[in-house]
Structure 1
Amino acid sequence: MFARKSRDEVEGGGAAASDAAGGDTRRIHVRFVGQVQGVGFRWTSQRVAFDLGLTGWVRNEPDGSVSMELQGPSEAVATFFTRLLESYRRFPISYTIDSKEDIPPMPGETEFSVRF
């Protein structure tokens, strides 16, 4: 498991910068379908989330999909999807986002974990 980077390391402005911007913490629930199991998708997602200072979790579902909750500054959450796509540039996989919805943030969450 990766330790979460501080916002200073990720954004250069620290938590105070986020607070000054109005505390724009966003949490989303996402369901991915397609070629998302058996290709390192959860571990890659964890690494991208770690690099962006995001928290949450990811897990394989029995139906072959992958569920994820992702939390952090709105801009970093949006950047996550671009970075995830870029990470598969050398090993392309086929996946789509089946659903994505905003859910209430979870205060105090400190890491992004792979669930089993």
Structure 2
Amino acid sequence: MDRVRRHIVFYGYVQGVGFRWKAKNTARRLGLSGWVRNLDDGSVEMEAEGTERDISDLVEALENHSWGSVERIESERVPVHGDYSFEVR
């Protein structure tokens, strides 16, 4: 399957609720690479690389995160980087 990379921003109650930890662990379990970080406006920014299906599974897991709430998601395809791990920045 072709690898893709998506730049994704999550808006809502997504900081201080374990969101980045869940993103990192779920991405690693799915074999995705990339990164996740908090932004000053209270949103969380992420880039994930892998199959489109695995990235969709990651986003779905984060939308259903039990401690926070995602109100809106912005997502776009970006060039593949060929990373080997997923990290919290």
Instruction: Tell me the TM-score normalized by structure 2.
Output: 0.90
Tell me the alpha carbon deviations over residues 51-96 of structure 1, each in whole angstroms, 9 at most, x when there is no partner.
100000000001111100000012211221223334x2xx342213
| TM alignment of 1:40-55, pairs within 5 A | 40-55=18-33
Over aligned residue pairs, what C-alpha RMSD do you find? 1.4
The answer to whether residue 76 in structure 2 is matched with residue 98 in structure 1 is: no
- Aligned residues of 1:30 and 1:97 also touching (Cα < 8 A): no
Runs of 4+ displaced beyond 6 Å: none
In proportion to residue count, which structure has more strand?
2
| TM alignment of 1:21-40, pairs within 5 A | 24-40=2-18
- Structure 1: stretches of 5+ with no match in the other structure: 1-17, 19-23
In proportion to residue count, which structure has more helix?
1
Aligned length: 89
The answer to whether residue 88 in structure 2 is matched with residue 114 in structure 1 is: yes
Aligned-pair distance for 1:25?
0.3
Mapped partners of 1:97, 1:56: distance in 2: 21
Secondary structure, counterpart of 1:37 in structure 2: coil
- Structure 2: stretches of 5+ with no match in the other structure: none
Instruction: Tell me the TM-score normalized by structure 1.
Output: 0.70
Residue 61 of structure 2 corresponds to 83
- Aligned partner (choices 45, 48, 51) of residue 70 of structure 1: 48
Letter in 1 for 2:80: P
